[in-house]
């Protein structure tokens, strides 16, 4: 099964200017396992969020660029089916404030991927999908 990390997991795995050592350790371990098992996938949206948050955390520009280049090697493309599923969920639930998370959920459904996050807001999405959702 493929593995998809919410942006917060990637931030803790790659960025130095984070505030939670425990989450950083968990993230590094999860990321290393995904690399070892060759089952990591990344979306375009995650790359955008990663760049935005890394910059907000004042990470070094060269590090951000290098990390984006590396993460891009695991990129899977979004497509019409993912967008249809995302809009379907949004229409059914009106969870517009969680639209990025809904996109991640639809992406993981399409690629049959397990989703890891630290974001407790994903609890309100758990019942919407049969994907394996792991909230650390």
CATH number of 2-135: 3.40.50.1010
Read off the pLDDT of residues 60-119 as tens digits, 9 standing for 90 and up: 999 999 999 999 999 999 999 999 999 999 999 999 999 999 999 999 999 999 999 999
Average pLDDT, the chain: 96
Domain spans, the chain: 2-135
Long-range contacts of 124-130 (CB under 8 A, 24+ apart): 124/95, 124/98, 125/95, 125/98, 125/101, 128/89, 128/92, 128/93, 128/102, 129/105
């Amino acid at each position: 099964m493929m593995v998809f990390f919410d942006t917060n997991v990637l931030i803790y795995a790659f960025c130095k200017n984070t505030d939670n050592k425990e989450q950083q350790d968990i993230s590094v371990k999860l990321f290393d396992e995904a690399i070892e098992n060759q089952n990591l996938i990344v979306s375009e949206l995650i790359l955008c969020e990663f760049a935005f948050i890394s910059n907000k955390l004042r990470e070094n520009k060269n590090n951000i660029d290098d990390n984006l280049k590396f993460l891009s090697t695991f990129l899977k493309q979004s497509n019409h089916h993912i967008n249809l599923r995302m809009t379907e969920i949004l229409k059914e639930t009106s969870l517009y404030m969680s639209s990025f998370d809904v996109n991640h959920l639809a992406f993981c459904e399409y690629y049959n991927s397990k989703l890891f996050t630290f974001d407790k807001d994903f609890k309100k999405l758990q019942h919407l999908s049969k994907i394996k959702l792991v909230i650390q």
